[in-house]
Amino acid sequence: MKFKRFKILIRDIKKYKALLLILSPPVIYLIINNYIPMLGVIIAFKEINYSDGILGSPWVGFKNFRFLFATSDAFVITRNTLGYNTAFIIMNIIVPVSIAIALNELRNKWLPRIYQAVMLFPYFISMVVTSYLVLALLSHNNGFFNSALMPFLGKDPVNWYDAPVYWPFFLVAINVWKTAGYTSIIYLASLAGIDPQLYEAIAIDGGGKWAQIRYISIPMLRPIIIVMTLLSIGKIFNSDFGLFFQVPLQSGTLFPVTNVIDTYVYRSLILTNDLGMAAAAGFYQAIVGLILVLTTNTIVKKINPANSLF
């Protein structure tokens, strides 16, 4: 039995040696660039001291992981990380897909191109600069909201950086603003590859625009949407550090809604700069991501094997 499988393996390798050959440069790259350094995960289970070196330092089991769960913050940061990422995943499907479909319908030669280029702009503005721009909107004294918008609405000025209730909306909005134009390009590329005859076929059958979108555009986009979602799920315990650290200006009052795992870990280790604890946090995030992706991937596979990641 075993021998037979081995024989099949040899046969497959022989048969597909051209493909394997094509694969080999990127695979070698991954080994050098990713897999060898990946052995550094052992740091998560060690208490590093430089006199013994990385390998010689004593093993400490899960001691480095303790700080992640030690305080009541553990619940808050896990909730925030999961909550925001879920919101981002959903918004990053709805908004960019809508943008892509709408742009695709504008057959005008120039306008869609201009819209698309312009919508990519926020992506180039670094989070630090974004935080200045947000401050220009929300600043207590001369921010746009307090000096123009709130009086216009007939409301009193708000101390935005001390008002946690608004921030989930702000953060989601900033995330969408920054990434929607970028992500929509992926969907637009997929739509660009669709054969126009498919739409015509529906139209000839009397299907309107909505039917064309529903029966052609969406199904054609579904695989890429699923893949993008799966990839995001893998990173669900990680977050855009700049968004949660820079943009709220580290305002303490906002912590209950802005503190995520990455910012918590950063603040925990900024003083001690403990390699072991940093590695432990990364390992924890990766393991959770891996478990979630494997689970979702299995479900996707059950429904439609063609859409699964692997």
| Interacting residues with another protein between 163 and 222 (CB under 8 A) | 177, 181-182, 185-186, 188-190, 192-197, 199-200, 203-204, 209, 212, 220
Is 27 a binding residue for another protein by CB under 8 A? The answer is: yes
CB nearer to another protein: give 87 or 286: 286
What is the C-alpha to C-alpha distance for residues 138 and 234, in angstroms, rounded to an integer? Answer: 33
User: Under a CB-based contact definition with an 8 Å cutoff, are residues 150 and 157 in contact?
Assistant: yes
CB of 178 to another protein, least distance (A): 9
Closest by alpha carbon to 237, among 100, 76, 82?
82
CB of 280 to another protein, least distance (A): 10
What is the C-alpha to C-alpha distance for residues 309 and 291, in angstroms, rounded to an integer? Answer: 14
Closest by alpha carbon to 68, among 301, 251, 287, 297?
287
Is 51 a binding residue for another protein by CB under 8 A? The answer is: yes
Which residues pair with residue 59 across a beta bridge? Answer: 46
Is 43 a binding residue for another protein by CB under 8 A? The answer is: yes
Candidate segments 69-77, 83-91, 148-156, 163-171, binder of another protein by CB under 8 A: 69-77
Q: Which two tokens stand for residue 306?
A: 């063609």
Is 277 a binding residue for another protein by CB under 8 A? The answer is: yes
Tell which one of 1, 165, 273, 302 touches another protein (CB under 8 A): 273
In the window 94-123, what residues touch another protein (CB under 8 A)?
Answer: 99, 102-103, 105-107, 111, 113-123
In the window 221-240, what residues touch another protein (CB under 8 A)?
Answer: 223-224, 227-228, 231, 234-235
In the window 241-270, what residues touch another protein (CB under 8 A)?
Answer: 249-253, 255, 259, 264, 267-270
CB nearer to another protein: give 78 or 250: 250
The full 3-state SS of 58-111, as one line of letters, equals CECCCHHHHHHHCCCHHHHHHHHHHHHHHHHHHHHHHHHHHHHHHHHHCCCCCH
Provide the 8-state DSSP code for 243: H
